[in-house]
Structure 1
Amino acid sequence: MAYSWDNRVNFVVRHLYDIDSNGYLDERDFFCLALRATIIDGKGQFSNSKLQEYQHVMLGLWEEIAELADFNKDGRISTDEFKEAVQQTCIGRKYEDFPQAMKMFIDYNFKMVDLNDDGIITADEYRFSCVTKFAIDDIESVDESFDNLLNDDDRRRGGITLSRYQELYADFLGNPDECPGIYLFGPLSEIAYTEIES
């Protein structure tokens, strides 16, 4: 069940959004995402202007996600609330039909994985992204996941372009069935996500 839709959304919450690992999403997570993006983009160097740019993007994403998913308006989004919002806004939809802030986050993710900024995520960049997001003890499973992502055009190019990444990300969130997009973030394991009590 590691690649079930439910587990994929658990992965997104735990490894992409819930940066402080407190069991829910809130504004602080998105401030942390902005700082992370600034440092990654600068290859370790800090730029206040870049931080402001990323804060604008990430706080816009937080506001849109909060509008879509904070059903009880407590300033926190539980995993269940996030899943419900994804069901309403992403299931059966293509990237172009996703909420604007989510599309910006997807594009931001591509940029963070494409370390050399050449417009293609290679196997090496994919490996790096996987092992820095969660515990992996078998590089062959990472390489197999990357291979499962690729279509013939990707193989000819030597990796995944932004438009292909957008398509795969839309499948990861919006396609409840098995598809190549389920491997977008590497070999997943089942994630037991316990809700934090208010």
Structure 2
Amino acid sequence: MVSDFRKKKLVHVFTAFFDTNKSGSIDKKDFVLAIEKTAKLRGWKEGDVTYKLLQETLMAVWEGIQSSADADKDGQVTLDEWISMWDNFSKNPAKAADWQRLYAKCIFQLEDSSNDGAIDSEEFSSVYASLGLDKVEATAAFGKMAQGKDKVNWEEFEKLWNEYFASEDVNAPGNFIFGKTSY
């Protein structure tokens, strides 16, 4: 059973980051739009190596989500299917599916715009602002997530990622990994 707190976090990720066309479900079209939006954000053009890598990564993530969550095999993942999938994940985050680890790494690399192996507050808040979230709130979320440090590296980010999807602790630093300070 998913608590109201975890459900609010899962709804945030579903609506803010996955249902890009706001249809109420996630499907392949959402990932095509996400590729276009991300490429534009980074200045990547179709045909660029980085564009192709992003496209391959996000299509692999879509296939993973579809195979993990699309219970009725209709080519769409509803909010209920999404929540059920992450509830299963929360029972054993150490056994994350390949696509879940791939998506976490993709988000980390997107946020690490300087490619120095760590995310700082400006990198973090700029990405979330470009996705329509409040930059001031994203900056505050980074502070809570980073727990007073200037940067978050991949190993720390991966732990925070798992914490976001599995933790019931409202004070856990992982709760802030998607740019919000409250749920």
Report the TM-score, using the length of structure 1 for normalisation.
0.80
- The answer for the alignment partner of 1:150 in structure 2 is 146
Deviation at 1:29, TM superposition (A): 1.1
- The answer for the alignment partner of 1:64 in structure 2 is 64
In 2, Cα distance between equivalents of 1:135 and 1:151: 21
Greater RCO (Cα-Cα under 8 Å, separation 6 or more):
1
The aligned amino acid for 2:17 is L
Deviation at 1:135, TM superposition (A): 4.0
Contact 1:17 1:29 in 2 (8 A): yes
Backbone CA RMSD of aligned residues? 2.2
Contact 1:5 1:177 in 2 (8 A): no
Contact 2:122 2:139 in 1 (8 A): no
- The answer for the alignment partner of 2:159 in structure 1 is 167
The aligned amino acid for 2:169 is D
Deviation at 1:144, TM superposition (A): 3.1
- The answer for the alignment partner of 1:112 in structure 2 is 110
Q: For structure 2, which runs of at least 5 residues remain unmatched after alignment?
A: none
Q: Cα–Cα, structure 1 residues 100 and 181, in superposed 2: closer, same or farther, change >3 Å?
A: same
Larger relative strand fraction: 2
- The answer for the alignment partner of 1:102 in structure 2 is 100
In 1, Cα distance between equivalents of 2:55 and 2:138: 31
In 2, Cα distance between equivalents of 1:131 and 1:9: 19
In 2, Cα distance between equivalents of 1:31 and 1:58: 8
The aligned amino acid for 1:110 is F
**Aligned-partner SS, 1:121:** strand
Residue by residue over 1:71-119, the C-alpha shift from the partner in whole angstroms, topping out at 9 and shown as x without a partner, is 111111101111001111x21433x421101111111111111111111
In 2, Cα distance between equivalents of 1:147 and 1:52: 33
Report the TM-score, using the length of structure 2 for normalisation.
0.86
Q: For structure 1, which runs of at least 5 residues remain unmatched after alignment?
A: 191-198
2:169 pairs with 1:183: no
Deviation at 1:37, TM superposition (A): 3.6
The aligned amino acid for 1:13 is F
In 1, Cα distance between equivalents of 2:10 and 2:130: 19
In 2, Cα distance between equivalents of 1:173 and 1:144: 20
The aligned amino acid for 1:149 is M
The aligned amino acid for 2:141 is S
Contact 1:114 1:125 in 2 (8 A): yes
What is the aligned length? 178
Q: Cα–Cα, structure 1 residues 144 and 53, in superposed 2: closer, same or farther, change >3 Å?
A: closer
In 2, Cα distance between equivalents of 1:173 and 1:60: 20
Contact 1:24 1:78 in 2 (8 A): yes
Deviation at 1:188, TM superposition (A): 4.7
**Aligned-partner SS, 1:65:** helix
